[in-house]
Amino acid sequence: MDSTFQNLVLGFSTVLTPTNISYSLIGCLIGTMVGVLPGVGPLAGISMLLPTTFGLDPTSAIILLAGIYYGAMYGGSTTSILMRIPGEAASVMTCIDGYAMAQKGRAGAALAISAIGSYIAGTLSVVGLMFLAPPLARLALGFGPAEYTSLLLCGLVVLSYMTGGSIIKNMAMIVLGLLLGTIGIDQMSGYFRFSYGLVALGDGIGVVPVAVGLFGISEILATAGHPDTRQVIKPTLRDLLPTGEELRDSAMPILRGTVLGFLIGIIPGSAHIISTFVSYAMERRLSKHPERFGKGAIEGVAGPESANNAASEGALVPMLALGVPTGPIPAVLLAALMVHGITPGPLFIKEQPAIFWGLIASMYVGNVVLLLLNLPLVGIFVNFLRIPYRILYPTILLFCVVGVYAVNSSLVDVGIMTAMGLLGYLLRKFDFETAPTVLGVVLAPIIEFSFRQALAMSDGSYAIFLQRPISVTFLGVGLLMMLFGLKPLIWRKGKDWRDRLTQAEKSN
Amino acid sequence: MTIDRVSGSALVLLGLFVVWERRVLPLGTHTRPGPGYFPLLLSMLLIVLGALLIFQGGSAQALRSLAWPEAPHALAILACSAFATLFLEQIGYRISMGIILGFLLGVMERLRLWLVLTLTLGLPLGTFWLFDSLLRVPLPRGAWGF
C-alpha cells in the first residue's frame, strides 16, 4: 500500500508540470470535439491524432493521448442528450432518458449529471486500475508461452462472443485480422510472407492504417451523401445546475455504474457498450418508479454514463498489465505507446514506473480537467454539431490521410487505409463487425510467437496447452464462451442481450 | 442468394487463396513450426468458418435487398483516397489535398464557391502549418518543393 502511494506521488510529480497539464487540457478538448462530432469515434480520433504526439516525450505523448481517449468517451454523451444521436455506440442508452430530459427542458441537468457521473466513475476506476494492474502484472510474469497462447485465444473468443452479432462472423473477422497480422517478415525465420515484393510491407501491416480504414474511412463511405437532418437543443449555462433531488437520485446509480463498468471493462469485447446496457437494466429494475424510465429519468443517464467511463478505464488494466488489449481502442493505444518506444506488459510497470504512474496520475488530472472544461464549454461544443456533414467528411478524410501517412511517412500505409476503408464498408453492408479484425492484427505476432514457442518447448505436442492449469483454465473459459455463442444457432429463441448490443452498434 | 452465403463464399475463397499463396513458405514440423504453419492453420479455420456461414446463412437478408444510396459518394471518396495514395509524394501534400477537397466540396457537394475556395486553400495550408511546421511531423512537399 505504501509503495503504491509513493509511486502515485512519483506519477503526480511527473504530470503536474505546466507543460503536461497543458497537454492534458488540449487532449481533453480535442477528445471531446472528436467525441461530439458524428462519424469520428474515439478509435479513429486517436489514430488520426497520433502524429501530433510524435514530437513529444513519451510521458507527454501518453498524457495527450489519454486525454483524447477520455474526452472522446465523454463527448459522445453530448450528442446523445442534445440530438438523440449517439456520438459513439456506448452512448446509445444515454439517448433514451437524456434526450427525453432535454425535451422537458432539463438538457443542462442531464449534461451536468453525465459529467459528474463520468468524473466520479473515472476517478474511482483509476483507483481500481492502480491497485489491480501491478499485482496482475506480477502474476503474468509467471506465464510461459503456453499460458500466453491460451490467454490470447481465450481473449479472442470472449471478444467474439461479447461483440454481439453472429459469433461465426466475429470469429471469421478475428481470423481475418490474424491473417493480416501475418503479413511481413516472420520474426522467427526471417521469411517475407505475403508481401509481394513490397519492402514497405516487411514490418507488417500497421494497426493505425487498419483502424483508420476500418473505422474512419468506412464510416464516411457509409454515411456521406445521406441528408443532414440534425436538430440541436442548446442549453444555457444556468440550465446546467441539477436540482437537489436530481443529485440525490443520481448518487447510487453513479456508484453502481462505476463498480459494474470497471468490472465489465476488464473483459474483452464491447465492454463499454455492454456495461451501459447492464447499468440501465439494473437501474430500471432497482427503481421504485420504473415507469419513469424512457421518459426522462435521471438515473437512466447517471448509471450508463458512469458505467461507460468506468469500463473505458477498466479496459486499460489488461492492456497495461499484460500487454493484451481487450478491444480496438486499447489496441490502438497500445500501438501508440509502442510508437513511443513503450511496450506495455508485465515488465512495463516494473521497468518504467515513471511512465506508468505518470499515466495513472494523468487520469486523475484528466478527469478533473474534463469536469472543469466540458460543462462551461458545452455551448461551444454544441456549435460543432452545427457543421454540416458534407463539410465535415472531406475534413475527416484529410485528417485520416495525414494521420496514417505521418506514422511511417509511407504511402503504402495510405494505400492500406484505402483498401481497409473499402473492406470495412463492405463488411458493414454484410453485417460484420470490424473491431475483431483490428484486434486480430495487433495480436497476431504475439499469438503466433508464443504458439510456436510453446510447440517447440513441448517437442511438438499440443498437450502442453492442456497440461498447465492456467492454460487449461483459459481454454476452458474460451470453450464455454464459444458454446454460449453457438447456442442460438441450435436453439433459436427470442432476442437476448447480444441482439440488443448488435442493434445499438448499428444504430450508431 | 443471401448476404451470409455470399460473404461465406468469399471467406472460403480467401482461405483457399491463402492456402495457395502459402505454398512457397516452409511448413516446418510440429516441433519447429515454419513460417507457413500459422497461416495454414488460420486459412483452414477461415475456410471452416466460411463453410459454416454458407450452411446456416439461408435465412439471412437477401443480397438483392441491400440498398446502396451512398454509393456515388463512397466511390468519390475512395477515388480521392486512392488519388492521395498515388500522388501525395509526387505533387505534395498541399496541392493534392487542395485537389481532393476542391473535388469533394465543389463537385460532389456543390457548396458555394467562396466556401469551397476558403476550405480548399485553408485546410491544406493550415494543417500543413500545424503538422509540418509546428509539430515537426514531416509532410510531403512534392517535386516543386511545395
Chosen for mutation from B20, B42, B80 (greatest number of chain A CBs closer than 10 Å) is B42
Q: Strand A184-185 relative to strand A192-193: parallel, antiparallel, unpaired?
A: antiparallel
Going by pLDDT thresholds of 50, 70 and 90, the confidence category of residue A508 is low
Q: Which residues 383-442 of A have a C-beta within 8 angstroms of B?
A: 390-391, 393-395, 397-399, 401-402, 405-406, 409, 411, 414-415, 417-418, 421-422, 425, 429-432
State the sign of the Cα–Cα–Cα–Cα dihedral B58, B63, B65, B71: positive
Contact between A301 and A94 (Cβ < 8 Å) = yes
* d(CA A20, nearest CA chain B) in Å: 16
- Whether the per-residue pLDDT at A469 is higher than 80: the answer is yes
CA angle in degrees (0–180, nearest 5) for A162-A64-A279: 30
> Of the candidates A84, A114, A79, A117, which has an alpha carbon nearest to the alpha carbon of residue A100?
A84
pLDDT, average across residues A196-216 = 87
Question: Could you tell me where the DSSP H helices lie in chain B?
Answer: 3-21, 37-56, 71-91, 93-101, 113-128
Contact between A326 and A336 (Cβ < 8 Å) = no
Interface predicted TM-score (ipTM) over 0.85: yes
Any idea which of A78-92, A100-114, A181-195, B74-88 has the lowest mean pLDDT? A78-92
Give percent above pLDDT 90 in chain A. Answer: 17
Contact between A13 and A362 (Cβ < 8 Å) = no
- Whether the per-residue pLDDT at B119 is higher than 90: the answer is yes
- Judged by CB atoms closer than 8 Å, whether chains meet at A54 and B14 is answered as no
Coil, helix or strand at residue A184: strand
* d(CA A168, nearest CA chain B) in Å: 6
The predicted structure's pLDDT at residue A325: 84
* B63, closest residue in chain A (CA to CA): A430
Nearest to B31 among A54, A398, A455 (CB): A455
The larger pLDDT score, comparing residue A383 to residue B131, is at: B131
CA angle in degrees (0–180, nearest 5) for A346-A349-A350: 90
* B33, closest residue in chain A (CA to CA): A452
The predicted structure's pLDDT at residue B121: 95
A144 Cβ contact list (under 8 Å, min separation 6) = A454, A457, A468
Distance CA A429, CA A425 (A): 6
The predicted structure's pLDDT at residue A175: 96
Q: Distances in Å between the alpha carbon of A205 and those of A39, A129, A416?
A: 24, 31, 8
The predicted structure's pLDDT at residue B120: 96
- Whether the per-residue pLDDT at A47 is higher than 60: the answer is yes
Distance CA A165, CA A170 (A): 7
* d(CA B56, nearest CA chain A) in Å: 8
A112 Cβ contact list (under 8 Å, min separation 6) = A240, A241, A242, A375
Grid cell in block for residue A107: 438538457
* d(CA A418, nearest CA chain B) in Å: 6
Sole residue written with cell 429519468: A297
Distance CA A328, CA A349 (A): 22
Nearest to B81 among A191, A399, A421 (CB): A421
Question: What is the number of alpha carbons within 13 Å of residue B81 lying toward its C-beta?
Answer: 34
> Global pTM?
0.84
* A/B interface, count of CB pairs below 8 Å: 179
Coil, helix or strand at residue B33: strand
pLDDT, one tens digit per residue, over A144-180 is 899 988 988 888 888 788 777 788 999 999 999 999 9
Please name the amino acid found at residue A148.
Answer: Y
The predicted structure's pLDDT at residue A351: 82
pLDDT, one tens digit per residue, over B25-65 is 999 988 889 999 999 999 999 999 999 999 988 888 999 99
How does the average pLDDT of chain A come out, rounded? 83
pLDDT, one tens digit per residue, over A363-397 is 888 888 888 877 777 777 777 777 888 898 999 89
Distance spanning both ends of chain B, measured CA to CA: 52
